Structure 1
Amino acid sequence: MNTIDKQKLWLPVRLAFLAVLVLAFSCSPEPELNSSDLYATNARSRNKNDKKSQNSQVKALVKGAKLQAANGLDVGPDGHLYVASVNGQEIVVMNKNNGKILKRFGPEDGVLGPDDLVFNPDGSALYWTDILVGEIGRMDMVTLEVKKQFVAPGVNPIRFTKDGSRLFTALDFLGDGLYELDPDLNAPARQIISCPDFPEDPTAVCLGFFNSFDTRMEDGRLWLYGPLFAANLIIAIDVTDELPTATLNFPADLFGGPAGGPAIRVVAGLDGSLENPAAAKFGPDGMLYVLDQAGELWKVNADGTDDKTLFTTLQPGLDNMTFDEDGSLYMTNNDHGWVAEILPSGQARYISPGGVIAPMGLAVMSGPNNQDKVYLADLFNLRQFNGTSGQQEAIYKGYLVPIVPEVGIAPLILPMNISQDGEDLVVSSWFSGGVQVWNPIQGVTEYYPDFGSPMDAVRFQDDIIVCNVDVLASPPEIGLFWASTGNIIDLGGALALPGGLATDGETLWVGDWATGTIWEITFNGEVPDSVEPLVTGLKNPEGLALDQNNGLLVVEWGESRLSRIDLDTGERTTVVDGLKLGKPGLGAPPMWSFDAVAVGPSGDIYLSIAGENAIYKVK
């Protein structure tokens, strides 16, 4: 098995290539997942002989969560929940009683991938952190006027003091450090803690990713209490004094604080009980509630050391929480997109149920009774569904930072695209920057970690061909590569920005996302001996799949449709149009997510529909 140096994977290294979000530990079934036999009404199935709408041929096999991940949240002055979604690129206003979505603020409102949010104490303004682009946003709740301020990529938690006079944020995943903000976003952000190698290495660790925190006054001193995501600790930082920016060395300065900087003390986690703490908020009982993404909620005595009790255990993937004025506790789950009220008993009352949040790559195998077995790459999880009923049959957790253990198999990377390889799957992920061969029983059997931005990968002969679009590398690494050697495949400059791949084992087809050309390539060993355009003029082709009738299916993102290309004539026909595909990205790579198509042994066609968190099935 190919492996990778652990330190290389310890932190992400390409700022624009990480969509943050979170790590979590999901391995349980998902009772709240909704499958549907309702026919899709916004998609139309067509063929050459019948141009009329045939809705009955297209059905939603799986319907996922209403939110494409749920992150920070707060209760607004109107009594509704305001929920941030990085992956959904929006802030959702939700009725906290019935989960009805009342409004969505998105890119058109200046909301660009929010990770956390908070209202000022009087409720007159909403603040949020756009983690990918490094901006703080402020919305006036009367005029809805938005003001933005750039701080640094990775801005994540944001919190006011109780009196509203001071506002703080920190960096996670795309950077590290602590800042104080001007509530009016006029004065530049004041850096409190920096990293030794920042800005030369923007991903250097100093605190260990200080995530969603709270404030408390103690004997006239102002302390921030919050989790260190990477260090698995809960700490408190004294920010009473406006000291000069301190350089903190991780982890040596976590106990006491950096020289000339704020005092720091460890509150919990020294016993190793925390796995990835993501949020800490003081409850009405004075206890510090600590949310661990492993699915645990702890009650911590902030005046002690590791004086804590486990309050409840929930589904892994927990992200953030907030208390209402009446003491009600509301919580989000990033990996599954649910929003819930946590009752005094510790039970979750799901306000907005969870499920699929980011449908991308698809692969279909033969299951029991000759039913199609559908695998879906869902960013934080690899999910398996019954191709007939749409029921979820298995779920496997992927990791943003898959540190290879000293003994055992490598963890699964974040699955963004998949292709069938016999009984295995080839998994590719530009979030994780790698390609793996994975088996449901054996786990990862091959690992190729040296591709900065693999969009797709397929088994070809005795190797794997990887479509890599690392536009931020110097020089850019864009093209098709052999996984075993890392060598680029010379196509004579045919490809501008490759996307999806398909193969029958002898011929390779690749779509050029930029030019709209599908290239047909044959090989003599490892060297291409024929590179010919099969069809031109498509709009942003992404997912490719061979059907059982000498055709190539192509998802055209730019036209919101599924097309079929006759492999003999190159003629294009529309199979399904009116699809609600993935949103435009916020940076590199340009295609961002991946809209996929796969054909099962039954001959049925499956589509991942990111705009609806769904899998469509076309008979």
Structure 2
Amino acid sequence: MIRLLCAASMLALAACGGEAAKTTTWEVTEFIGPSPFHGLHGLAVEEDGAILAGSVVGQAIYAVNPQTGEVTTRMGPPDGMADDIAFGPNGEMAWTGYLTGKVFIQDKGGQPRMISSGLPGSNSLAFTKEGRLYFTQVFLGDALYEADPAGVAPVRLIRKDLGGFNGFEVGPDGMLYGPLWFKNAIVKIDPKTGADTIVADGFQIPAAANFGPDGNLYAIDTKTGELKRIDMKTKAVTVVATLAPALDNLAIAKDGTIYVSNMADATIYAVNPADGAVRTVVSGPLATPTDLVITDGPEGEKLHVADVFAYRVIDTATKAITDPLRMYRNETENQLGIGAGKSKVLITSWAAGMVQVVDRASGAAVIHHGFTAPTDALELSDGRLIALEAATGTIRPVTDAATPAEPIVSGLNYPVAMVEAADGKLYVTETNPAATGALASVDLATGTITRVLEGLAGPEGIDIGPDGKIYLAEAGAGRVIAFDPATGTKTVLAEGLKTGLPGAEGTLPAYTTTGVAVSKKDGSVYVSSDITNAIYRLVPKTE
């Protein structure tokens, strides 16, 4: 249970025996409710009709009741990471670990076995009726392979440089049917030779294709949100339904119901192919909220959220949620860190080496690549833009140059997030896997780093309150604390928060930042949960 903790001890009584100072406690509530998934990717339908859904960020395979939307975890981290899921002819299940580069298989009633490794971006896979297994690399590679389900023989490379052969399926003729993500078409590929033939074009970003029981091929376009039917006799293409962009995969049940996953909205849709009717099986308000920042202006106070598959803005008064940038609808990349200043919002993606600068007034966005695992970025009070690199432990200027500028600060230990104080100093959280975490003060003029608070359990998100205190999340302990730089004292605001999602193999210690943002209007503290995908609000209560 979340504990409500006293955040200010009683001050000494006045010499004349006056009243003790009032104390402050913190009321913890869910500002935005939870979501059942950490982003959604591959889908498959079991014999009993249950939907299996895979998550890369959550490193899990979930089972979803198609009627009630009830979600249970079938397999958790780390082996549960699944970008795609497929069933073989004997009930065996295979899936791909996109970030880890592994492929697993599990015989019915057995334990998971790794049958391929060392291929980052292992993405989509499918069985033939005879039990042969094919899989692809996309984004972190571009190739088609055949794997030995027994895990004895090495994988067989069929072809490289296809153009992103994403969610595919084996057709009745033994050919592999699926999208070429980067070539805007649905193709069939001969698994013997790797030769491809276009089946349908005119897509913007085709993401997956599956055969229905009617013999037609159904495909999704992640950019437009369209679900299309391809008549395999005439090759005519028709739109069955239009859903929200950022679609990832689809699976078709025996009765023809088409289930479609949306990674940005943590949603599974059920579509009737006969009339295009759409039913939401399960959904959540956010996908995977990570870093947070608050702005205030004529439009009111806004909470900006790096939601991994979308950049979202929440009105703190009404809780209304908008998404100025969404994966594949807009030019953006996985949003994992966020900062803001007077005129800019800066989004970072350590996975893509990206810093994106968004103009607060116009919404115009510019992407800068070439950074090394950037976890946060800020617009300083003097207008300069800076980025924090976890992998190099540096702070660099963000400029319009073709490559990132030289560091202005070096020597940080796996920095996660930063905030600028009124005196121009930066406060930076450090989460070092080889030691306990720390809060560092950084003088940008000299590059001097001073650890002002050590022994922290996974410090991540950080902000400064209207009282001048530093508020930060100890994600590893599910705790939020306030640090007073004037006195060097710290106070615990809340414990028992659901934070600290385990990082995937080969990723950063702060895998999904537990964000912290403090309202300058009323002192409320907002904290993201990377376990439940909710956002907490800690409200000060004076007694």
Q: TM-score, length-normalised on structure 1?
A: 0.78
Inter-CA distance 43–391: structure 2 relative to 1 (3 Å threshold)? farther
Task: Identify which of 259, 268, 278 aligns with 2:200.
Answer: 268
**1:231 paired residue number:** 183
**2:16 paired residue number:** none
Task: Identify which of 67, 82, 91 aligns with 1:114.
Answer: 82
Inter-CA distance 227–265: structure 2 relative to 1 (3 Å threshold)? same
What residue identity is the alignment partner of 2:163? Answer: G
> 1:10-32: per-residue Cα shift (whole Å, max 9, x none)?
xxxxxxxxxxxxxxxxxxxxxxx
User: Are 1:318 and 2:238 an aligned pair?
Assistant: no
**1:357 paired residue number:** 287
Question: Residue 76 of structure 1: CA displacement?
Answer: 1.6
Question: Residue 232 of structure 1: CA displacement?
Answer: 1.0
> 1:473-503: per-residue Cα shift (whole Å, max 9, x none)?
xxxx332223346222345x4x222221111
Inter-CA distance 55–102: structure 2 relative to 1 (3 Å threshold)? farther
User: How many angstroms apart in 1 are the aligned matches of 2:48 and 2:379?
Assistant: 54
Inter-CA distance 287–464: structure 2 relative to 1 (3 Å threshold)? same
Question: Residue 360 of structure 1: CA displacement?
Answer: 1.2
Check conservation: 1:44, 1:578, Cα contact below 8 A. Answer: no
What residue identity is the alignment partner of 2:398? Answer: A
Root mean square deviation of aligned Cα:
2.3
User: Are 1:47 and 2:2 an aligned pair?
Assistant: no
> 1:503-523: per-residue Cα shift (whole Å, max 9, x none)?
125111112211422222334
| 2:509 partner SS | coil
> 1:184-225: per-residue Cα shift (whole Å, max 9, x none)?
23222211113xxxxxxxxxxx1011011122244xxx2111
Inter-CA distance 189–413: structure 2 relative to 1 (3 Å threshold)? closer
User: Are 1:99 and 2:69 an aligned pair?
Assistant: yes
User: How many angstroms apart in 1 are the aligned matches of 2:48 and 2:151?
Assistant: 24
Unaligned runs of 5+ in 2: 11-23
Inter-CA distance 148–46: structure 2 relative to 1 (3 Å threshold)? farther
| 2:531 partner SS | helix
> 1:357-392: per-residue Cα shift (whole Å, max 9, x none)?
1101212122568x5321111112111112133221
Check conservation: 2:246, 2:328, Cα contact below 8 A. Answer: no
Unaligned runs of 5+ in 1: 1-40, 195-205, 242-260, 403-410, 471-476
**2:216 paired residue number:** 287
Task: Identify which of 360, 385, 392 aligns with 2:314.
Answer: 385
Aligned residues: 512
Check conservation: 1:412, 1:444, Cα contact below 8 A. Answer: no
**1:479 paired residue number:** 394
Question: Residue 46 of structure 1: CA displacement?
Answer: 4.0
Question: Residue 548 of structure 1: CA displacement?
Answer: 1.4
**2:170 paired residue number:** 215
Inter-CA distance 300–478: structure 2 relative to 1 (3 Å threshold)? same
**1:154 paired residue number:** 121
User: Are 1:425 and 2:393 an aligned pair?
Assistant: no
Task: Identify which of 395, 419, 422 aligns with 1:502.
Answer: 419
> 1:513-553: per-residue Cα shift (whole Å, max 9, x none)?
114222223344xx33x543322221221111111112101
**1:25 paired residue number:** none
User: How many angstroms apart in 2 are the aligned matches of 1:213 and 1:368?
Assistant: 48
> 1:429-472: per-residue Cα shift (whole Å, max 9, x none)?
212312232124423466542312111112233422321123xx
User: How many angstroms apart in 2 are the aligned matches of 1:274 and 1:223?
Assistant: 21
> 1:74-102: per-residue Cα shift (whole Å, max 9, x none)?
12234311111112110011211111124
Check conservation: 1:535, 1:571, Cα contact below 8 A. Answer: no
User: How many angstroms apart in 1 are the aligned matches of 2:318 and 2:210?
Assistant: 41
Check conservation: 1:225, 1:280, Cα contact below 8 A. Answer: yes
Check conservation: 1:401, 1:413, Cα contact below 8 A. Answer: no
Larger displacement relative to structure 2 (371-380 or 84-93): 371-380
**2:47 paired residue number:** 77
User: How many angstroms apart in 2 are the aligned matches of 1:309 and 1:445?
Assistant: 34
Inter-CA distance 447–287: structure 2 relative to 1 (3 Å threshold)? closer
Larger displacement relative to structure 2 (561-570 or 62-71): 62-71
User: How many angstroms apart in 1 are the aligned matches of 2:36 and 2:329?
Assistant: 27
Alignment of 1:544-563 (within 5 A): 544-563=462-481
**2:495 paired residue number:** 577
User: Are 1:366 and 2:324 an aligned pair?
Assistant: no
User: How many angstroms apart in 1 are the aligned matches of 2:68 and 2:139?
Assistant: 33
**1:465 paired residue number:** 386
| 1:558 partner SS | helix
| 2:53 partner SS | strand
Q: TM-score, length-normalised on structure 2?
A: 0.88
Inter-CA distance 265–556: structure 2 relative to 1 (3 Å threshold)? same
User: How many angstroms apart in 1 are the aligned matches of 2:178 and 2:538?
Assistant: 48
**1:489 paired residue number:** 408
**1:21 paired residue number:** none
> 1:307-355: per-residue Cα shift (whole Å, max 9, x none)?
2111111111111111112222222111111112112321221111233
Inter-CA distance 488–235: structure 2 relative to 1 (3 Å threshold)? same
Alignment of 1:504-523 (within 5 A): 504=421, 506-514=424-432, 515-523=436-444
**1:188 paired residue number:** 154
**2:259 paired residue number:** 330
Inter-CA distance 368–121: structure 2 relative to 1 (3 Å threshold)? farther
